Amino acid sequence: MAKPVVLVVMDGVGWTDKDNGNAVMHAYKPQIEELMTKWPHTTIKASGVAVGLPSDADMGNSEVGHNALGCGQIYSQGAKLVNESIESGDIYKASAWVGAVDYLKEHNGKLHFVGLLSDGNVHSNISHLIAMIKEAKKEGVKEVRVHALLDGRDVPETSALQYVDQLEEVFKELNDDTFHGCIASGGGRMEITMDRYEADWSMVERGWHIHVMGDGRKFASCKEAIETYRAEGNYTDQYLPGFVIADGETPVGTIDDGDSVILYNFRGDRAVEFSKCFDDMDTFDKFDMVKKPKVYYAGMLQYDGDLKLPKNFLVEPPHIEHTMSEFLVEKGVHSYAVSETQKFGHMTYFWNGNRSEKFSDELEVWEEVPSDVIPFDQKPWMKATEVTEKMVDAIASGKYQFIRCNYPNGDMVGHTGNYEATIIGVEAVDLNLRRIMDACKKYDYTMLVMADHGNSDEMIDKKGNPKTSHSLAVVPFAVYNGPEGTECKEGDFGLANVAATVCKILGYEDYPTQWLEPIIK
């Protein structure tokens, strides 16, 4: 018998018996325990090749996870796309690369690379940066400047110097009478430049001053900046204040007229706002730019296909077709999606196959709960209650056959490295699940509960330090109040199997042949 469906993503809640600071294991979570014992349940893969990443050693993330959930298929993603393009050499044949090199040569300018300096493989990979720097020298580029955003989130929290040293060694090898490259500026990813969903434009403004204008605290080297800030404020990498590398008081690499700029992050959410600064410079009004250099700007990928942003990009993104939303619109199904700001784009843009627009304004309703602009470990319950209230109202309304939400707590609080706060974050999600479960029982909805990747299940690294990155754990999957006789199959399932599962419960088994099979019998 077909039933309407509620889908809940507990972001960053992995499921494992390993206890490396396992905040999920140690949280008080009676609802999750009930779902994973008394109702049909299993675990599914949310990392590696199951979500289109290069290997099973690659951690999943919310973007590829929600792509897989929303489209029911596996596409080459992020790092894998870029790896393939660099290995084939296609990236250097792309019009954006050729255009960037030609522009700076014509104007005797510099080539700037801006991006996350790590091998976390979630937003970027330092190997891509190094490959492009070496190619730039081969093609006769004389000046390269790197604006290094420090990670400490997808990699150990104080590992920045490892990547700085690696990059400095590359420059030491390449620099000669015909070429000079160096780090020009930097700062922590949660302090400058990499805001997302327009939650805090002041981050981008600080980055603009640092990278473009050379307006910031000055140091003789990146290493000196990092070590000084750590000594002064005990900062982890992601929260290091911005800095400018200077020769005396003169910045070594401001972004000026005639330069080319490449944002080498491949993940889109934290690349959109910085890209808007360049592509929309003539009409930009989010902050006073002060300086508007005439440059050639390109991104590693096109970060927003609907907005065509940026207009110049090095690697074609996956062209995702046959998404769940598109299929449900064709069937006339009314759907509702909600999350707070931090994961709203995942429930909408990434869910719909990297599309900012709805497939149907009439059939799809999206609602955003504004996130607080504070460190998440200071309020680990975040906006879970507000999201829950909107979910319960949507269920009670009877307007929608498919309702979905994301609780960001396990991921966003987990990224702070604060174990105690993360336990509270997981408990907040669990507490709110009860209200949705009760509403589903009252109004006879089936509820599917899962995560998009691990994080809060592994909060301590091998050295005993706080771990802020995602994990490789499988994630829980449970079916509450399903159709009579519902059982989970035995098998090797991943996030991409969820779309067919939703449609099977809704009563539609004529979903696209490209989709993976459902998880339930």
pLDDT at 437 over 70: yes
- Residue 195: its pLDDT value, please? 95
**Annotated catalytic residue, options 47, 55, 62, 356:** 62
Q: How confident is the model at residue 305 (pLDDT cuts 50, 70, 90)?
A: low
**Mean per-residue pLDDT for 13-35?**
98
Q: Dihedral sign, CA of 251, 253, 256, 261?
A: negative
Identify whether the C-beta of residue 506 lies closer than 8 Å to the C-beta of residue 333: yes
Query: How deeply is 105 buried, as exposed, middle or buried, from its count of CB atoms within 10 A (0-12, 13-18, 19+)?
Result: middle
Q: In the chain, how long is the greatest CA-to-CA distance?
A: 75
| Structure token pair of residue 385 | 């209650």
Question: 3-class secondary structure for 29-72?
Answer: CHHHHHHHHHCCEEEEECCHHHHCCCCCCCCCCHHHHHHHHHHC
Tally the residues of the chain: 521
360 as an active site residue: the answer is: no
Query: How deeply is 430 buried, as exposed, middle or buried, from its count of CB atoms within 10 A (0-12, 13-18, 19+)?
Result: buried
Task: Give this prediction's pTM.
Answer: 0.73
pLDDT at 294 over 60: yes
The string of pLDDT tens digits covering residues 60-118 is 989 899 999 999 999 988 888 999 999 999 999 999 999 999 999 999 999 999 999 99
The string of pLDDT tens digits covering residues 382-410 is 999 999 999 999 999 999 999 999 999 99
DSSP string, 101-138: HHHHHHHT--EEEEEE-SS-SSS--HHHHHHHHHHHHH
pLDDT at 33 over 60: yes
**Mean per-residue pLDDT for 15-34?**
98
- Residue 282: its pLDDT value, please? 96
**Mean per-residue pLDDT for 126-130?**
98
First to last CA, the chain: 13
Contacts of 330 (CB under 8 A, 6+ apart): none
Q: How many angstroms separate the CA atoms of 269 and 285, rounded?
A: 20
Q: How many angstroms separate the CA atoms of 145 and 179, rounded?
A: 11
**Mean per-residue pLDDT for 114-136?**
96
| Range in 268-272, 279-283, 357-361, 498-502 with the lowest mean pLDDT | 268-272
Find the angle CA(338)-CA(276)-CA(412) to the nearest 5 degrees.
Answer: 40
**Mean per-residue pLDDT for 5-33?**
98
The string of pLDDT tens digits covering residues 154-212 is 999 999 999 999 999 999 999 999 999 999 999 999 999 999 878 899 999 999 999 99
pLDDT at 306 over 80: no
- Residue 267: its pLDDT value, please? 86
**Mean per-residue pLDDT for 459-488?**
94
Identify whether the C-beta of residue 502 lies closer than 8 Å to the C-beta of residue 324: yes
Top pLDDT among 79 and 265 is at 265
Average pLDDT value over all residues in the chain: 96
| Range in 303-317, 387-401, 427-441 with the lowest mean pLDDT | 303-317
- Residue 517: its pLDDT value, please? 98
